[in-house]
Amino acid sequence: MKMWLVACSKGGVGKTTVATHLAAQGAVAGLRTVLVDADPQGSATHWCERRAGMASAVLPVDGTRKSWRGHVPADAQRVVVDAAAGAMEHELAPFLDQADALVVPIQPSALDIEASVRFLESVGRHPRVRKGKLRVGLVGNRLKPNTNATREALELLRGWPFPLVAQLRDSQAYVVLTGLGKSLFDYHSAQVREHQADWQPLLRWLDKA
């Protein structure tokens, strides 16, 4: 079983979109996949419910309860945790204690980057992160290629102590697909494949976690 935690310092940065896409990719690939929804808003759970009739359905688990671990089937192959928005190290500790990797989506705005610094300082105090036993990867999200804001943000992120492991372009497709309980990985058109390619560096990095 691989457990991946998706967390960030504030809402609206695409955390649930990243978590649901990682879950969908595993389910489409034939893995028994669980999505632990630790965000009280329940957006990831609603996504799973919309997907329930598909062959690549994803099992939702309520991660807001302390007993969440007992509801993850023993034969699960991929577990993705959608953390609560704004949660810091002490709130994430139960997941940081068990996760194989932490994925941190960051948007290219000054407010998001400043908030991410505080968040990474917080999770950096966790013993597994401090000792290098829990890999942390940054994901540039909702990027607009060839804009000054994106170029400056990427240059800054590349200088941080945690690696920039993926760059996801901005697209309305994410909003539409998430609302349908679907993902980019459910389609095979040429246009979709271009966006799928954005995810490959992240998936390769996670496979090594």
Sketch out the chain's domains with CATH numbers: 2-202 (3.40.50.300)
Q: Which residues of 71-103 are buried (b: 16+ CB within 10 A; e: fewer)?
A: ebeeebebbbbbbbbebbbeebeebbeebbbbb
The pLDDT of residue 28: 97
pLDDT digits over 49-108, tens only? 999 999 999 999 999 999 999 999 999 999 999 999 989 999 999 999 999 999 999 998
The 10s digit of each residue's pLDDT in 185-198 is 999 888 888 899 99
Residue 11 has what pLDDT?
Answer: 75
Using the predicted structure, report yes or no on whether residue 10 has a pLDDT greater than 80: no
| Residue bearing tokens 């089937």 | 73
Angle at 109 between CA 108 and CA 112, to 5 degrees: 95
Residue 146 has pLDDT above 90, yes or no: no
Span 18-24, average pLDDT: 98
pLDDT at 82: 98
33 in helix, strand or coil? strand
User: CA 20 → CA 54, 149, 154, 184, distances in Å?
Assistant: 14, 26, 24, 10
